[in-house]
Structure 1
Amino acid sequence: MFHFFAEPSFRVRLVGGRHRCEGWVQVEQKGGWGAVCDDGWDMKDVAVVCRELGCGEAKGTTSGILYKPSTEEEQKIFIQDVNCNGMEHKLSQCDLQDALDCSYSKAARASCEKSVRLAGGPGRCKGRVEVKYQGQWGTVCKTGWSLSDAKVVCRELDCGRAILTHSCCKKTLQGQGPIWLSNVSCSGKEEELQDCPSGLWGNNNCNHDEDMCVECEDPFDLRLVGGDNSCSGRLEVLHKGKWGTVCDDGWGEMEAQVVCKQLGCGESLFPSVKARRSFGPGVGRIWLDDVRCSGEERSLEQCRHRFWGYHNCNHKEDVAVICSEKQP
């Protein structure tokens, strides 16, 4: 197969998933983004995408409700017949062709999994440090652990600055199963936790009372504004350092319950339409649209939604939420 793509290199991203490491595969060409056809798409291709994005191991293709393009511009397919051997560092290094006859219904998807995560917390950027070894997740012991180690974890997870690290004292935060690492000693400049010196995997005298927790300056945050307290108002989410609103397309009771739970504000009391009339429209960016939650999520970020900033709404459709518990 010949490499027909017009440009020697291009950027890649995944859109529409729960986080930046899953979703539809898109490539940038001539200032615009387009999808990749799934003709011949397999795990070798997924592995290259995951490697290029620094997203860890290839898991497969995503499933469930994901971002769906709403305009013709968003539905373009740029490349097809991708054929990677799985060892390339970038998708542009694989054999591929310019797209000729592929529809967006056949857009390729990918799902990746990092070898480190923060579990049990309110969102992906706070919680118990867990690492994956031999296909199983396990915890990290506090022996030798410091804020320098936490900095590496937060950086690897795209969670911003490390603001706190401590033993997971609460029983609800303590892990189960293997304790994989202890005596971790990062300088703080490493890109990934696996680059740091540590003791032998699984060789330690620790127990789960000594599991480590980390809190990062989560780039995702939310708030309710315009109400009498912080548990009622127009919903705004923080993305790329800017606050913006959420469109009510598809919004319902499950989504409102996740917001109230994340804010520690009890349960949702009123439908968003009634609430919106009380607080009025927002201004500026509309960050999220077509949000879909199961109700089990700890953070609104874990719910399905369109790619950030993609919507067909105006501020008359901004979501508002009223929760049961009042905070000063």
Structure 2
Amino acid sequence: MSLLSWTVEAQAQLETAAHLAKLLDSPAQVNEPDDVRLVGRASRCAGEVQVKQLGMWRYVINTAHNLEEVTALCERLDCGFAVGMTMSRSGLVSDDWEIKRDCAQAGSPLRECLSFSVITFSQKGLFRELKCSDSVRLLNGSSLCSGRLEVKSNQSWSSVCETDFDQQDAEVVCRQLGCGPPSVLQGALYGEVEAPVWSKEFQCGGHESALLDCRSSGSARNSCSPGKAVGLTCSDPVRLVGGASRCSGTLEVNYLRQWSPVDVSDWSLKGAASVCAHLDCGSAVSVRRTKATGFYPLTVRSDCVKSGSALRTCTTFMSSSSMIKLNCTDSVRLLNGSSLCSGRLEVKSDQSWSSVCEADFDQQDAEVVCRELGCGPPSVLQGALYGEVEAPVWSKEFQCGGHESALLDCRSSGSARNSCSPGKAVGLTCSEPVRLVGGAHRCAGTLKVKHLGEWRPVDVSDWTLEEAAVVCEQLDCGLAVSVGHRVESSDLPVWVMRPDCVQVGSSLRDCATSNDSSSIVNITCSDLLVQPVISLSSNDGVSEAQQQGFRVSRSSNFTISCFIQPQYPGGSFQLTFNKAYKYTQAAVNHSAHFLFPAAEPAHQGNYSCVYHVHVFFHNVSSESRLLSVVVSDHTGLTVRVILLPLILLLENIVLYFCCKEEAEVQQTGAH
């Protein structure tokens, strides 16, 4: 910077500081009424924004407001809605205002929304130029491009009767508001007629730039039937260009009647899905930022899009060196699911979406759909899982081989189906491609997510255990124990995920935004230990029965051993008996041995080994399978073994003498 430039800038900042001190010394003056105006254009509803404070008019410098926010300024001027913002450069001035974002929109007095700006010499004279809609506005709609139509004439806003308004008139209004062509025109869609009512019929040709430029009927109307106020919805002027189909390519918005690429710094698939739905293109498959060449795109605030506002409404006139490339599916989508990879299946053909009957769809068909959506393999295929069949219904059976890249590439049956039983709509859930790698166990390591066939690490600098818990849950790994970051020597292709997107039950893939980074996240879940092994040994041998478990002799000694594969040093084993009694020993060489010197019936029951160890500043544990022990009474068995032969011997002796005596008697009688 030259000495002259530095001197001029320093002088400007000194003037700014002096004026700020004056403001602080004059608190009573700050409370004077708001004053705002647009200057430099032929209409009072267009020009550079100026605010009057302390009796002086000052420009509002360039701040990143979108149309929805600055519409509050148009409303203060009774000028309808904001239809465009640009930047203009005026002569050098010494001090300017910034308007705090979201403040004026919330209805606060404008003086409370002002902040004094200290800007550099190179920024001097760069101001916000605003254009309002002058004489038309849409009220009670979901965006600046929808609502109940009102027209301004003679400083008064009037409702418009539906019978005095047609499709060509609607085309003019949508164009005047900077929106896309009309998509819905229906009476009372956004409220009833309110007095006064526009008194003549509009007769537009459709080419006019403003509604009041159109011809009107000669006769006047005095009243309008209830429920006949014009309700109008204009489409969001959005498109995808340069791709293989109308459902893929560079995202562009028609802004100030000119198509321009847009940049969304932290957009994920979940945010991009709204654009795909708007274009009637099915599900979002990929979204990525690329370098812009030869032009400077507009910027879209992602938090504005998430709130349901139209993309154009969220656009700010801020230059960017990046643009968005988006890919949506052409002909399949999943509705009512918890993520973009789950829901009720619909197929598009001849510009119409159709439900699919469960009887016409199988596992191989599901594999094709999940691949087409960029998801993992199918994990659940069940009728009516995400709602009932809705008309129309796809009329033929799919016969996929499983290798096709799109469902409509598959063969189909020749016969047509006319109906589908209730509860038989295809409900499909594709798996979540997530894993932890590089750790001692599948529940610990670097987080990686597979998207579009590519495994990438994840960079999430502001994640907490709450977001990490989503990963542990999806991997069936218990609770999150720790979340940290590792810095690589150079940047890697990574997925970036905002924490407000990642929630329990949500899909990590839906939250992924492509980027390059040297920081990657490591997660440890509670179930990071392998399962311990439990075994039993006894001095008299051990037998195991299928139903009764391990059998040991009464009064014999037996030992229950616990062992775990080496992962972490130290730790302890806790032997639990019937979930009540617990015995603890330190782990020596990753094992522990619990001796029972004399087996008793009280020792019968179920045993398990629980390994405890302190790692990553947390206590974690893992439990073995159950081992069942039965104690048998061998003393009684010994008595029976000895007495039984003696009894048999005595019986034989008695029987011998009885038989002998009988024989002698018979012999004596014969003589």
Give the TM-score taking structure 1 as reference length: 0.52
The structural deviation recorded for 1:136 is 9.7
Equivalence for 1:14: none
Out of 342, 360, 366, the position equivalent to 1:144 is 360
Aligned CA distance change for structure 1 residues 78 and 157 (closer, same or farther; 3 Å): farther
The separation in 2 between residues aligned to 1:165 and 1:323, in whole angstroms, is 23
SS at match of 1:233: strand
* Aligned 8 A contact 2:479 2:527 in 1: yes
In the alignment, what sits opposite 2:408?
Answer: 193
Shift of 1:154: 3.6
Counterparts of 1:135 and 1:225 in 2: how far apart (Å)?
A: 44
> Identity over the aligned pairs, expressed in percent?
28
Question: Hey, what's the Cα distance between the residues in 2 that align with 1:236 and 1:165?
Answer: 20
AA matched with 1:206: S
Moved more, 284-293 or 224-233: 284-293
- State the alpha-carbon separation in 1 of the partners of residues 318 and 294 from structure 2: 9
CA contact (8 A) 2:365 2:407 kept: no
How far is the alpha carbon of 1:320 from its aligned partner?
1.3
Give yes or no for the alignment of 1:236 onto 2:448: yes
Query: Residue 468 of structure 2: SS of its match in structure 1?
Result: helix
Deviation at 1:46, TM superposition (A): 0.8
Note the alpha carbon deviations across 1:73-112, whole angstroms, 9 max, x for none: 965343589xxxxxxxxxxxxxxxxxxx992179577685
1:181 aligns with 2:401: no
Say if 1:246 and 1:109 are closer, same or farther in 2 by CA, change over 3 A. Answer: closer
How far apart in 2 are the matches of 1:106 and 1:247? 20
Is the 8 Å Cα contact of residues 445 and 523 (structure 2) preserved in structure 1? yes
Unaligned runs of 5+ in 2: 1-177, 181-235, 254-261, 269-288, 298-316, 531-671
Correspondence 1:211 to 2:425:
yes
User: Take 2:353 and 2:325, find their aligned partners in 1: how far apart are those partners?
Assistant: 25
Shift of 1:204: 1.4
What is the match of residue 21 of structure 1?
none
1:206 alignment partner, SS class = coil
Compared CA separation, residues 257 and 53, structure 1 to 2 (3 A):
farther
CA contact (8 A) 1:46 1:111 kept: no
CA distance in 2, matches of 1:134, 1:239: 30
Q: Output the amino acid matched with 2:422.
A: N
**Greater strand content:** 2
Query: Which amino acid in structure 2 is aligned with residue 323 of structure 1?
Result: C
Residue type matched to 2:476 in 1? G
2:319 equivalent among 103, 118, 134: 103
SS of equivalent to 1:249 = coil
- Asked if the contact 1:149/1:184 (under 8 Å) is kept, the reply is no
Q: Does 1:298 align with 2:298?
A: no
Cα distance change of structure 1 residues 62 and 296 upon mapping to structure 2, 3 Å threshold? farther
Aligned partner of 1:129 in structure 2 is 345
Q: Deviations over 1:226-260 (max 9, x none)?
A: 44532222223345656442224233344313212
| Number of aligned residues | 244
SS in 2 for 1:52: coil
Does residue 52 of structure 1 match 2:245? yes
Greater alpha carbon shift after TM alignment, 121-130 vs 294-303: 121-130
Report deviation, 1:54. 4.9
Change (3 A) 1:326 1:290: closer
Residues 244, 286 of structure 1: 8 Å contact kept? yes
Distance in 1 (alpha carbons) for counterparts of 2:290 and 2:476:
37
* TM-score normalised by the chain length of structure 2: 0.29
Cα shift at 1:301? 0.8
AA paired with 1:184?
E
2:373 to 157, 163, 168: 157
1:6-85 matched pairs, under 5 angstroms: 46=239, 48=241, 52=245, 54-55=247-248, 65-66=266-267, 76-78=292-294
Hey, what does 2:524 align to over in structure 1?
322
- Distance (Å, rounded) in 1 between the aligned partners of 2:443 and 2:319: 44
Look up the match of 1:94: none
Counterpart of 1:260 in structure 2 is 472
1:189-211 superposed Cα distances (whole Å, 9 cap, x missing partner): 5844398657879x413122x33
Confirm whether residue 225 of structure 1 aligns to residue 437 of structure 2: yes
1:246 and 1:148 mapped to 2: Cα distance?
A: 31
**Relative contact order (C-alpha < 8 Å, sep 6+): which is higher?**
1
Q: Deviation digits for residues 112-158 of structure 1, max 9, x if unmatched?
A: 56542345778644665334699997742222324553354245324
Q: CA RMSD in A?
A: 5.1
CA contact (8 A) 1:237 1:245 kept: yes
Answer yes or no: is the 8 Å Cα contact 1:266–1:325 preserved in 2.
yes
- Alignment correspondent of 2:556: none
Whether the aligned pair in 2 keeps the contact of 1:141 and 1:183 (CA below 8 Å) is no
Shift of 1:168: 0.6
Distance in 2 of aligned mates of 1:322 and 1:50: 41
Partner SS state of residue 480, structure 2: coil
CA distance in 2, matches of 1:191, 1:242: 19
Over 3 Å counting, the alpha-carbon distance change for 1:176 and 1:226 in structure 2 is: same
Match for residue 311 of structure 1 among 510, 516, 537:
516
Quote the Cα distance in structure 2 between the aligned partners of 1:287 and 1:122. 24
Quick one: structure 1 residues 221 and 323, their matched pair in 2 at CA, closer, same or farther if it must change by over 3 Å?
same
| Contact 2:291 2:322 (8 Å CA) reproduced | no
Q: How big is the shift at 1:50?
A: 6.8
Classify the secondary structure of the residue corresponding to 1:117: strand
Q: Secondary structure at the match of 2:446?
A: strand
SS in 2 for 1:104: coil
Q: Residue 218 of structure 2 corresponds to which residue in structure 1?
A: none
Query: d(CA) in 2 for partners of 1:55 and 1:126?
Result: 21
Amino acid across the alignment from 2:516:
H
